[in-house]
Amino acid sequence: DTGVSQNPRHKITKRGQNVTFRCDPISEHNRLYWYRQTLGQGPEFLTYFQNEAQLEKSRLLSDRFSAERPKGSFSTLEIQRTEQGDSAMYLCASSAPLVGAGSPLHFGNGTRLTVT
């Protein structure tokens, strides 16, 4: 178990630029989640994959955000035309196959995005 890996750890970009983050989940985990966390807040749900299928996307997520999980392995989260309000820690988590929703989430260390 090598854990959930996220790259890059930090990203500084100028407003209007596009950014892409990568998440490598634990290898046997079929569920993958993206969350966003800002200072003083808990993780806010963005989207969820089961294998390669994106099953849920937060209504809070604008069309500038897109996520993929080709072949059900690693995932990417892209933000187009970044805005200063996008500055946050972006967290990826994965969980093992389990009947129902009781399988705990395993989080990566996150990618901190700063939009200047």
Under the rule (CB under 8 A), what is the footprint of other proteins?
4, 31, 33, 35, 40-45, 48, 50, 55-56, 58, 91, 93, 100-102, 104-110
Contact present, 92 and 23 (Cβ < 8 Å): yes
Measured CA distances, 72 to 5, 13, 28, 55, 58 (Å): 15, 28, 10, 13, 20
73: which residues sit within 8 A by CB, 6+ positions away?
A: 24, 25
CB of 75 to other proteins, least distance (A): 16
Least distance from C-beta 9 to other proteins, angstroms?
11
Residue number, 33 or 79, with CB nearest to other proteins: 33
Residue with tokens 């035309």: 81
Q: Considering the complex, state which of residue 50 and residue 87 has its C-beta at the smaller distance from other proteins.
A: 50
Taking the complex as a whole, the smallest distance from the CB of residue 17 to other proteins amounts, in Å, to 26
Min separation Cβ 101 and other proteins, Å = 5
- 33 backbone dihedrals φ, ψ, rounded to 5°: -130, 150
Place of tokens 């990203």: 11
Q: Of the two residues 25 and 108, which places its CB atom closer to other proteins in the complex?
A: 108
